[in-house]
Amino acid sequence: MQSLLRLLQPKRTNARVFSTTLAVARKPVYFTPLAINGDIIALSRKSGELSRDPIWLLVNRLLRLKREDALSTALDKCGVPMEEFEKWLQAIRAYDFDSAMVVLRAKGFALTPAGQLSRHLPLWLVIHLLSTKMRTSSQARLALPLAVSHMPVTPIHLQAPILILVAYALGKHDLPALMNLLVARFLATPIDPRARAVYCNHLLQAISRLPSSWESSRLAVSMLDAMSARKIPLWLRTYKYLLADRFVTIDLAKMLRDRMDEDGVKPIMAHLESFLKVFSKAGMTKEAGRYLDAIREMSLQKGYEIVPYGAYPTRKAEEPAESVTRHNTVYLHSFHEEDAVKQYLTRLANLEELKTEHPKEHFRNLASRRRRRQATLGKRQLDIADWTSLLSVATRNPQTDLKKLWHFWSNPKHRNSPNLRPTTATFTLFMKTFHDRQDYAAASEVWLEMCRRNMPLDRKALTIAVQVLTMIGKSLEAFQLMDSRAAKPTPLETAGLIKLDIGVINAFMSALIRVRRPDVVYMLWDKMEFLYSVKPDVETLNKLLEAAYLGGKLDDSLAGFIANLKLKNPFHWSHEEPLSDVPRKRREAITGRIQEMINTSKGPKGIWNEEPAWCVTRRIFQEVILGNWPHMNDIEPPAYPVRESADALIESPVMDLARNIIKARRERRQENTAQSSSPPVYEPADSEKKAEALSVFGPYPQIVPNDTTFRLFIILCGSHGKAGDIPLALAWMRALDIKTRPQTLALAMAYWGEVSMNAPLVERMTGQNEYRKLWAWVEDWVGAAGVPRRRDNMDALRLLAEMRETRVR
């Protein structure tokens, strides 16, 4: 072991440490559709107990139509005649909401563009549709309008649980924008005091199924604050859901920890394990050690035969023998320096050598099956998982000799050693670290060794392999690997393949951008949902914005100018053949086009579906904002440009001066006219505004933009003569409460200055200074401490000059 530890010694000490861990989120077991259905059943049962409404009994019986006697009794209690029930039987037996709507349309129940039904359905049928028929994202988007349209005929005691059923559908399909509207309506809904705890906890559990983002965290915090104000307790199960890896953030974990202390809640083992994972992942060794010691103490109190070592492992004769468990492996990830983790592992190894009891004899002495299963969840000695954790810490140091480590682990003699046999995770770590160090040849060697050993491929390994193959010039092979190993959507699904997530697509897009192939990125955006049943997230939108900017830079040539000029030809048409309606043939045609595009390196890179790619991407970004948050349509920009682009001043300064003077006089005349005669303005009622908000469906409700997204959008607009969009983009950021960096604001003001500033004489004549106007607005938004400093502004101007002078080839 000492020789292995010596390999991890870096060439130099005191080196900068950076994270190289894989950031591919996994859904916990209880986030599966089966678990969500179980929570829905639990909600319906508890709602029936609290309200004594027989409608919940009928809803439960509809899940078991074969039990005719119980179903008949439930129908009688609800006062539903058998003839009326048989009228809706086909809709009840439909597979999903779309199939149910086919039956309802035949009965005269049309779906309006707002997603509402033209006539009201029986409430028991509405609850059944919300509980069991929302199987896709597009169907889940209709759940909230369906529920809201029936609220006028819904009794008060049924409104909150119906909204929670909608929340489960939105959480299952990752729709945070619609969840925002639902939470606002839920908090305004009257709830029986006896049912507040049940409904609030169920709503938080539904929110916890969303992916981690500032929007989902804000929703959880708003609910937690509302529950604290109303003194509503959190269930232990709700704590467990909120602490799940996929949802929790470090700030939310600290908030939940403090709330546990304030409410006097004693955490269970699942909570301690979750806190250990969160703080270890954040690199907070001291906090993670506290929870590792708490897990050890609870294991001793409960009399577990397998007790993990603590943060400072020692051996005491009066206590049971401790073992290396999965908790110790998780704790290893909290270390920043390899010296600390080597010392910890050395202590563990020395304590393991002092043990004399044989593992088989120990397991044979365990009394119950539960205790034997509890013991097998732990481990009795150091294994490859611990060495991989040590390796992950060591590779964070850029001075670690990675090739020497790879030579040790790739040695064939370790195949026969059960505790040192490399796994897929070990090889994936090597491949990713070589990739991050831009040693793509070494990374490809790791991939070839995995292929030679015929090692199983998981989603993380596939993600890195696709990137490595692309970076060594094998983009076609990377796509073929991803496509061949990916599980196909129904009815093309094949057992034994990998269910892709959006992280794999994002990684492939990132590699394609680095090898100057933004045209393939556009095609993947269009076709990935049909090919792999994945939808874009905020990272995918960021990659698309990068690709659109890169495509414009690549087409900044004579060939690119001619290609874009052809788009303005009224007699130009597309030569692509229409795709087949048969799913298999359609898929083969799409994959064939992508492979043909990858093989064809020549041609324009900034054209997408016979349009400039930056125009399409700009429109997609606007659809994300205005579709997910319809009230953004009412927001006005805080300042207006004085010219269309920076080139307008260069091309004709006299015309620019005349245009600004005429524009200023026209605006003064319009202001005077408006003041003299101001007609009454109609203000719609709140109910009408909510209905209008629900009537607009964006095509990307799962995307929640962040500061990086807006920064890339600002660069895209500024580099294509659309800097006038920047004030409105900043207004959207402020309305969405997105925390922005001074660097982003500095870049926005640098672009804005080109279209908003005039000569001092012109400003005195026109009375306009739109640049100062926007600067004052920004200072009012972020405060004096958040505005860009002089250094930020200089860096932004320097970056702007570099981007314009750099020619990409």
**CA distance linking residue 634 with residue 561, whole number of Å:** 37
Tokens for 117? 């039904």
pLDDT of residue 23: 36
Give whichever of 172-181, 331-340, 610-619 has the largest mean pLDDT.
610-619
pLDDT of residue 213: 84
- Nearest to 448, CA basis, from 408, 498, 506, 406: 406
User: What is the pLDDT, as a whole number, of residue 549?
Assistant: 94
Q: How far apart are CA 320 and CA 362, in angstroms?
A: 12
Least confident of 5-9, 316-320, 605-609, 624-628: 5-9
C-beta of residue 378 within 8 angstroms of C-beta of residue 306: yes
Please answer whether residues 173 and 209 qualify as being in contact, where contact means their C-beta atoms are separated by less than 8 angstroms. no
- pLDDT number for residue 492: 47
pLDDT in tens, 83-112: 888 899 899 989 889 999 999 988 888 776
21-72 pLDDT, tens digit each = 333 344 454 555 555 578 888 898 899 899 899 998 888 888 766 677 788 8
Q: Which residue has the higher pLDDT, 654 or 398?
A: 398
**Residue 652 confidence (pLDDT):** 47
Q: What is the pLDDT of residues 639-678, one digit of tens each?
A: 988 877 666 555 445 455 545 555 555 555 555 554 444 4
Note the pLDDT of residue 743: 95
Counting every residue written for the chain, the total comes to 809
Distance, in Å, from the CA atom of 369 to the CA atom of 355, rounded to the nearest integer, reads 24
What's the half-sphere exposure (Cβ side, CA atoms, 13 Å) at 19? 10
pLDDT for 72: 85
Share of the chain above pLDDT 70, in %: 78
- Of 396-405, 521-530, 706-715, the one with minimum mean pLDDT is 396-405
Instruction: Tell the residue number behind the tokens 């990377």, with chain if given.
Output: 478
Nearest 5°: CA angle at 698, between 114 and 166? Answer: 65
Distances (CA, A) of 16 to 395, 399, 437: 11, 9, 14
Residue 474 has pLDDT above 60, yes or no: yes
| pTM, rounded to two decimals | 0.81
Write down the pLDDT at residue 680: 39
Site of tokens 């000799």: 401
The chain-wide mean pLDDT, for the chain, equals: 81
Q: Compute the distance between CA of residue 58 and CA of residue 77 in angstroms, rounded to an integer.
A: 8
Query: Tell me, what amino acid is at 321?
Result: A
User: Which residues, 6+ apart, have CB-to-CB distance to 715 below 8 Å?
Assistant: 545, 549, 747, 803
Compute the average pLDDT of residues 174-203.
92
Q: Which two tokens stand for residue 324?
A: 């290396």
User: Tens digit of pLDDT for each residue in 438-460?
Assistant: 999 999 999 999 999 998 899 99
Rounded Cα distance between 807 and 271, Å, is 53
